[in-house]
Amino acid sequence: MEIYLPNPILERKTILRKYRELCRLLPPHATKQQRKLFHKAFALAVDAHKDMRRKGGEPYIYHPIAVTQIVAKEINLGVTSMIAALLHDVVEDTDYKLKDVEAMFGETVAKLVDGLTKIEDIVVDVDQSVQAENFKKILLSTVEDVRVILIKLADRLHNMRTLSALPQEKQWKISSETSFFFVPIAHRLGLYSIKSELEDLSMKYNDPTEYNKIQYALESTAEERNTLIEDFTKPIIEKLKEAGIDANVTSRTKSVYSIHQKMIRQKINFEDIYDIFAVRFVFDSPPEEEKNICWRIHTVVTELYKTNQSRERNFLTNPKPNGYQSLHITAMSKTGKWVEVQIRSQRMDEIAEKGLAAHFKYKEENKSPQEYENRVEEWLTKIRSMLKSEDTTALEFLNEVKLNLNLKEVIVFTPTGERKVLPAGATVLDFAYDLHTNLGNHCIGAKVNYNIVPIDYVLRNGDQLQIITSKKQIPKPEWITYVKTVHAREKIKEAFREEHKKKEVKGKKILAEIFASLNIENNASNIGRVQADARILSPYEFWNCIAEGTITKDRIRKIFRKKSSNTSAIDDFRKKITNHLQDKKIDTLIEEQLEKKPEVFLLDETSDVIRYVLAECCSPIPGDQVMGFQITNDTIEVHQTKCPHAIEQMSKFGNRIIKAKWREGLNLAFLSGIRVSGFDRKGMLKEIIDVVYSQMDLNIRSFDFWSKSNTFTGKLMLYIQNVKALNELIENLSKIDQVEKVERIAPE
């Protein structure tokens, strides 16, 4: 890591230079008053942060300046947003208050700054999440002014760009938050460039080994790609000139993260990905001529090269939910390699790269499609709906938001042919609630394309539905697991709340009547005595039992006739009821051990106070980069840092991350898995077994081997000491003749 040496004179010059650069980024139409306010904001930010430095040693003011540059240059927001970006940490980190910001810069800037100011990192219950609370606050501000989330994305992008200065556990926490919270938001808002960079930077810290492998592969094949692109585009450019079409040609290499995801999804190596890059033709034209020119360029490409029809994508007439428009072709180059071609206008290209911000720019010029504006507003409406639910915790809210960041959709139709768009994975029940709450509450199934299906049937594109209802049907607890949309989930919860209230009112009335008939005082103590005797912690369950007559008058009479010897047991249970929601555990054991060795928790077999368990979701072994995650007072769960489940947990509960590493020379065997595939032949199975037993001296727990036609697949579960031994095994198995692929898998 580069060491920063403070130099006050050079730093003052740098701040002045950065100020001039920011002034050049102010919009041309900025008024004299706006420019004065911007200068005032810059001076205030410099003064407020004058004694502060970042973890890397540089002046803290460099951070808000960098965020402002991203806001102006990469997201294209205006003066108000630039002022808010400069001041976004002033209230949180200095003595200035929100009222000071409002007095100097107005209500709008103050609201933006407030939305960007984190909730203090107070002590919370073990099941609460400061990260989720902060994220909820950001989105609460976003529904009023979408610029809040855009500035926050700029803030997060710069933090990720400078993450190397932080300790490793902080890197994991921040990169996990980024991939879990901010990447999907950037995706939904169409900020492709920012989304891709955030994905790559998150992977760089959560899975550095794979990141560096792919980065090296991209760098070493760059010259070959450049030659291929030049040879491929040259005849197209000549033909376009002949046709009088002026198009700018650029190429785009896939991000490291997207390449890695494709390798995992398709189970292929880097060399087997044919669309590592795309060639883009971008032209400028009036909106009414855009589609026509796109198809003319399409004609030129298809006349010169053979194309893969199954890979053609028309996003011109069917834009993506985030407003993305383009025409995609996959063409075969003269060298026998497939090349993805993207065709779009300048307006489409800017919206594709800068999303929502570019949309607002073109909206002012009446060049942005109304459909995109409707999609963004629809998403914000869903967020508003979630925020209205008072009994939804920040974590539940966060999970609901995640469900609605999915850009994949399904298009279905009502019996009258009305088109409905729902998220991919939506069910009959989602569709019913989308039409009307009563239809959802009383839904028992549907006719889909004239066939009867249950309420949890997953909808497919083109389905035509007719909802079937029954007056006797009411929402059931398992329905929550059937639905995909927040709207349906909230309506089901609302129905439960209404039912709970009815049961409570009825139960209280019945119990009051029973108490009166038995001359028992109707007070909290006596109600608690009945609840304790019934051993029911849940108030809803208790009142439901009273309302339904499960707890009878005769039973209540017997409760109050019991001898006092039972009182202590009942009192104990009543205390459990009283303390049920207040019971908090103090995390002392781990804190004590970490005080002795604050840098790292060593993983070995000798820990007598704190134990660790290996997470089944990723099955780490020595040599894997790992982190610990506190799951109880005395237990740490160990995950690979790239494990999706660990990333989700770190993004929500950063305070539970424990920096961990394997003790050197740890002499234990860990269960791991290997999948081997290739072309079958006589003796193949024996050679595989020989490598495992004779060459590597490993212990196999199980081995499945099956063949079809002339191919085979083998799956081994074995005990192994570390990643080095595992990689050696993979290398040795790969050398066997006609073995095509060997890969690590999770043990079963």
Q: How far apart are the C-alpha atoms of 237 and 571, rounded to whole Å? A: 86
Q: Nearest Cα to 663, choosing from 607, 595, 617, 746?
A: 607
Token output for 2: 């580069």
93 belongs to the catalytic site = yes
* Residue keyed to tokens 């400061």: 130
Separation between Cα atoms, residue 473 and residue 465, nearest integer Å: 19
Q: How far apart are CA 53 and CA 50, in angstroms?
A: 8
The amino acid at residue 728 is E
Residue 406: which residues within 8 A CB-CB, separation 6 or more? Answer: 423, 424, 425
User: Which one-letter DSSP state was computed for residue 616?
Assistant: T
Active-site annotation holder among 47, 92, 371, 616? 92
State the helix-helix crossing angle for 486-517 and 553-561, rounded to 10 degrees: 60
The phi, psi pair for 52, rounded to 5°, reads -110, 145
On whether the CB atoms of residues 352 and 190 are closer than 8 A, the answer is yes
Q: Are 742 and 730 in contact (CB under 8 A)?
A: yes
Q: Which helix (H) or strand (E) holds 569?
A: helix 567-579
How long a stretch of residues is the chain? 748
- The one-letter amino acid code at 669 reads A
Neighbours of 270 (CB within 10 A): 16
Q: Nearest CA to 503 among 549, 437, 534, 537?
A: 549
Q: In what order do the strands lie in the sheet with 247-253?
A: 247-253, 277-283, 338-345, 327-332, 313-314
In degrees, to the nearest 5, what angle opens at C-alpha 121 toward C-alphas 55 and 45? 50
Beta carbons of 273 and 301 less than 8 angstroms apart: no
92 is catalytic: yes
Structure tokens at 736: 């066997």
Q: Is 176 helix (H, G, I), strand (E, B) or coil?
A: helix
Helix axes 192-206, 208-220, angle to 10 degrees: 120
Of the residues 21, 93, 114, 275, only one is catalytic, namely: 93
What DSSP string runs through 128-170? --HHHHHHHHHHHHHTT-THHHHHHHHHHHHHHHTGGGS-HHH
| Structure tokens given for 566 | 């039972």
- Separate counts of helices (H) and strands (E) for the chain: 30, 19
Show which residues are catalytic. Answer: 92-93
